[in-house]
Structure 1
Amino acid sequence: MDALLRTIDFALYIFLIILMASVIFSWLYNFNIVNRHSQFVRMIGNFLYQTTEPVLRPIRRILPDTGSIDFSPLVVFLIIYFLQSLIMNARISLLFGG
């Protein structure tokens, strides 16, 4: 059971890194810091979008429209933090029997 919890925690951590990369990439893209015409940049953007959008889209539907500021990544960060805290508490309970 501990191995399963560690695997889930690691998967959440990887998704957290991809989500942070997506947020930073969107800033770089929107402020025209990266070359929008580069195929490599488009490939990275497409990967980040396809990876994070299935999680962010339902949250965007729930959140009120705030114009150009997207708070959905912040909500996902909080959800992941909460899930990782639950996993850590479950692992402690498993390891120490209490």
Structure 2
Amino acid sequence: MIALIQTIVMALDIYWWIIIASAIFSWLYAFNVVNSRNQFVGTIGNTLYRLTEPALRPIRRFIPDLGGIDISPIILLLLIFFLRQFLLTTVLSLVV
């Protein structure tokens, strides 16, 4: 059971970094720092979008529109942090 919890925590940690990479990429893309016509850049952007959008879309439905500011990645990171801490403190102490 401990191995399962550690695997879930590792997957959450990896997804944490994917969300951060997606947010940074969206800023770079919005400010034309990266070449949007480059196929490699487009592939990275599409991959990051497909990995993060299913988790961010439900959050975006509930938060109000703040203009050009998207706080849904921050909310998702907080949810992941809460779930990770819950697994490590509560669930793991019940198992051990």
TM range (shorter): over 0.9
What's the counterpart of residue 66 of structure 1?
66
Which stretches of structure 1, 4 residues or longer, exceed 4 Å deviation after superposition?
none
* Residue-by-residue CA offset, 1:41-91 (whole Å, 9 max, x unaligned): 000000000000000000000001111100100000100000010111122
What's the counterpart of residue 20 of structure 2?
20
Normalised by the size of structure 1, how large is the TM-score? 0.93
Q: What does 1:1-98 align with in structure 2 at a 5 Å threshold?
A: 1-89=1-89, 90-95=91-96
What is the CA–CA distance in structure 2 between the aligned matches of 1:94 and 1:4, rounded to whole Å? 11
What is the CA–CA distance in structure 1 between the aligned matches of 2:93 and 2:30, rounded to whole Å? 43
Partner SS state of residue 51, structure 2: helix
What is the CA–CA distance in structure 2 between the aligned matches of 1:79 and 1:56, rounded to whole Å? 11
Number of residues paired by the alignment? 95
What is the CA–CA distance in structure 2 between the aligned matches of 1:34 and 1:21, rounded to whole Å? 14
1:38 partner letter: N
What is the CA–CA distance in structure 2 between the aligned matches of 1:63 and 1:36, rounded to whole Å? 29
Normalised by the size of structure 2, how large is the TM-score? 0.95
Larger RCO of the pair (alpha carbons < 8 Å, separation 6+): 2
- RMSD, aligned α-carbons: 0.8
What is the CA–CA distance in structure 2 between the aligned matches of 1:21 and 1:13, rounded to whole Å? 13
